[in-house]
C-alpha cells in the first residue's frame, strides 16, 4: 500500500500554471501526485515522473502524456535530455520514504518489525544498512548519527555498535535494537526513529541527492517555472529553505553595496505550508510535512 499523497491539492494548485506545459514529478511512488497532475494537463501537456524503486514501476500510468523514468532524481537533467527535454514548467518533489517502503518489512526501513538491515531505496545498489553498521569506522558512524539523526550521544552509540559487532555481526533490525536494549521504554520510539533515519540517509545519500536535484531543477526550470518540495524532517527542509532563499546550501551570497543579492527564486508563500488538522487525522504521515514553493526569477 502506497501512502495517500500529502498536501495533494495544495501542491498541484501551486505547481500547474500552464495546462499545455511540461512537468516533472521526481518522486512517483504510488503515483498519487502524478495522477492529479495529469488531471490538470491538457492533451498537449506532458509529465515525466522519476522513481528508482523497482516496486514503483507497478504503479505506472497508461497515458500517452506520461513517461515513468526508473532512475534516481539525482540524474534529473541528463535523464530528461534523453527524451529531448531541456526546460520544464514545474517540478514537484515529495521527499522521504513512502508508506509502502516502511510497510514492506523485508526492506528494513521500519523499526516495528524484524527484518534484514537493508534500507535501500534502490535495491540494485551495493551499499546497504548492514554494510554501514558493520563496516564503517567508529568516527564515521558517530558523524552519521550526529549529523543525520541529530543524536547528541552519537559517539557513545558508535562505540557501542563497534563493540557489539566484534563478537557477532549485526544482521537484522532486531540485532541493532538489542545493542540499545538499555534505552528506557518511553524513549525508544524517538531514539530508534532517529537512529534508523540517520542510517537510511547515509545508505541512500539522501541529502547529497537532494542538493543535486535542487541545483538541476533551477537549471531546467523556465523563467517563472515552479519548484514545489514537500519535506518531512528538518535536515531536508533546511536545505530546501536555504536554496529557495538564495540558491545556496551554506554560506552567504555576495551582496552589492546596498546589501542586496541576486535571488534565484521568489517565494510563493513566505512560510512553509503545513497540512490541516483534518489531513493529519486522516493521514498520520502528513504530521511532519512542510511544503515550500519557489518561482524561478
Instruction: Please say if the pLDDT value at position 21 is more than 50.
Output: yes
Q: Per the annotation, does 32 bind a ligand? A: yes
Residues β-bridged to residue 221: 88
Please write the tens of the pLDDT for every residue from 178-203.
999 999 999 999 999 999 999 999 99
Residues β-bridged to residue 296: 265
Q: Please indicate, yes or no, whether residues 91 and 231 belong to a single structural domain of this protein.
A: yes
Sort strands 221-231 and 290-296 into parallel, antiparallel or unpaired: antiparallel
Whether residue 108 lies inside any domain: the answer is no
CB 202 within 8 A of CB 145: no
Q: Please indicate, yes or no, whether residues 118 and 244 belong to a single structural domain of this protein.
A: no
Dist. CA 230–CA 220, nearest whole Å: 19
Prediction pTM value: 0.90
Q: Please indicate, yes or no, whether residues 89 and 137 belong to a single structural domain of this protein.
A: no
| Span 154-163, average pLDDT | 98
Instruction: Please say if the pLDDT value at position 105 is more than 60.
Output: no
Pick the last residue of a domain from 204, 234, 249. 204
pLDDT (0 to 100) of residue 131: 98
The three three-digit cell numbers of residue 108, written as one number: 528494513
Q: Please indicate, yes or no, whether residues 50 and 132 belong to a single structural domain of this protein.
A: no
Q: Please indicate, yes or no, whether residues 13 and 95 belong to a single structural domain of this protein.
A: yes
Whether residue 276 lies inside any domain: the answer is yes
Q: Per the annotation, does 93 bind a ligand? A: no
Instruction: Please say if the pLDDT value at position 64 is more than 80.
Output: yes
Q: Please indicate, yes or no, whether residues 69 and 92 belong to a single structural domain of this protein.
A: yes
Q: Per the annotation, does 50 bind a ligand? A: no
The three three-digit cell numbers of residue 127, written as one number: 551499499
Task: Note the helical H segments in 94-184.
Answer: 99-103, 129-135, 138-148, 154-167, 173-179
Domain of 285, CATH number, reads 3.40.50.150
Whether residue 1 lies inside any domain: the answer is no
Q: Per the annotation, does 31 bind a ligand? A: yes
Give the neighbor-by-neighbor strand order of the sheet with 66-69. Answer: 66-69, 46-50, 22-25, 88-94, 221-231, 290-296, 265-267
Whether residue 15 lies inside any domain: the answer is yes
Domain count, the chain: 2
Q: Please indicate, yes or no, whether residues 241 and 181 belong to a single structural domain of this protein.
A: no
Q: Per the annotation, does 73 bind a ligand? A: yes
pLDDT (0 to 100) of residue 100: 45
Whether residue 76 lies inside any domain: the answer is yes
Whether residue 3 lies inside any domain: the answer is no
Q: Please indicate, yes or no, whether residues 79 and 219 belong to a single structural domain of this protein.
A: yes
Domain of 150, CATH number, reads 1.10.150.170
Q: Please indicate, yes or no, whether residues 52 and 130 belong to a single structural domain of this protein.
A: no
Top pLDDT among 104 and 194 is at 194
Q: Please indicate, yes or no, whether residues 220 and 238 belong to a single structural domain of this protein.
A: yes
Instruction: Please say if the pLDDT value at position 71 is more than 80.
Output: yes
Whether residue 249 lies inside any domain: the answer is yes
Q: Please indicate, yes or no, whether residues 211 and 196 belong to a single structural domain of this protein.
A: no
Whether residue 104 lies inside any domain: the answer is no
Dist. CA 59–CA 32, nearest whole Å: 10
Instruction: Please say if the pLDDT value at position 263 is more than 90.
Output: no
Pick the last residue of a domain from 204, 221, 254. 204
Instruction: Please say if the pLDDT value at position 97 is more than 80.
Output: no
Looking at the chain, the whole-number percentage of residues with pLDDT higher than 70 is 94
Instruction: Please say if the pLDDT value at position 102 is more than 50.
Output: no
| Span 155-183, average pLDDT | 96
Q: Please indicate, yes or no, whether residues 59 and 22 belong to a single structural domain of this protein.
A: yes
The three three-digit cell numbers of residue 250, written as one number: 551554506
Residue 179 structural domain: 113-204
Pick the last residue of a domain from 204, 226, 246. 204
Amino acid at each position: 500500500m502506497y501512502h495517500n499523497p500529502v498536501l495533494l491539492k495544495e501542491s498541484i494548485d501551486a505547481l500547474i500554471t500552464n495546462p499545455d506545459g511540461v512537468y516533472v514529478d521526481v518522486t512517483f511512488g504510488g503515483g498519487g501526485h502524478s495522477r492529479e497532475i495529469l488531471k490538470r494537463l491538457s492533451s498537449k501537456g506532458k509529465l515525466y515522473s522519476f522513481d528508482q524503486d523497482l516496486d514503483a514501476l507497478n504503479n505506472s500510468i497508461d497515458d500517452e502524456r506520461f513517461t515513468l523514468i526508473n532512475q534516481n532524481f539525482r540524474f534529473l537533467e541528463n535523464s530528461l535530455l534523453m527524451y529531448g527535454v531541456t526546460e520544464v514548467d514545474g517540478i514537484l518533489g515529495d521527499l522521504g520514504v513512502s508508506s509502502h517502503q516502511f510497510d514492506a518489512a523485508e526492506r528494513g526501513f521500519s523499526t516495528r518489525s524484524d527484518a534484514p538491515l537493508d534500507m535501500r531505496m534502490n535495491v540494485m545498489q551495493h551499499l546497504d544498512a548492514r554494510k554501514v553498521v558493520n563496516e564503517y569506522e567508529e568516527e564515521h558512524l558517530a558523524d552519521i548519527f550526529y549529523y543525520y539523526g541529530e543524536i547528541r550521544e552519537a559517539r557513545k552509540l558508535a562505540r557501542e555498535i563497534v563493540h557489539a559487532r566484534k563478537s557477532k555481526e549485526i544482521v537484522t533490525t532486531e540485532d541493532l535494537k538489542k545493542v540499545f536494549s538499555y534505552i528506557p521504554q518511553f524513549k525508544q520510539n524517538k531514539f530508534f526513529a532517529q537512529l534508523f533515519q540517520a542510517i537510511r540517509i547515509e545508505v541512500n545519500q539522501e541529502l547529497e541527492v537532494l542538493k543535486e536535484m535542487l541545483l538541476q531543477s533551477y537549471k531546467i526550470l523556465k523563467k517563472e517555472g515552479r519548484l514545489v518540495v514537500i519535506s518531512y524532517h528538518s535536515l531536508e527542509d533546511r536545505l530546501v529553505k536555504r536554496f529557495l532563499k538564495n540558491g545556496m546550501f551554506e554560506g552567504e551570497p555576495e551582496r552589492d553595496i546596498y546589501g542586496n543579492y541576486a535571488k534565484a527564486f521568489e517565494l510563493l508563500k513566505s512560510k512553509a505550508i503545513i497540512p490541516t488538522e483534518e489531513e493529519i487525522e486522516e493521514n498520520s504521515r502528513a504530521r511532519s510535512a512542510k511544503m515550500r514553493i519557489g518561482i524561478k526569477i
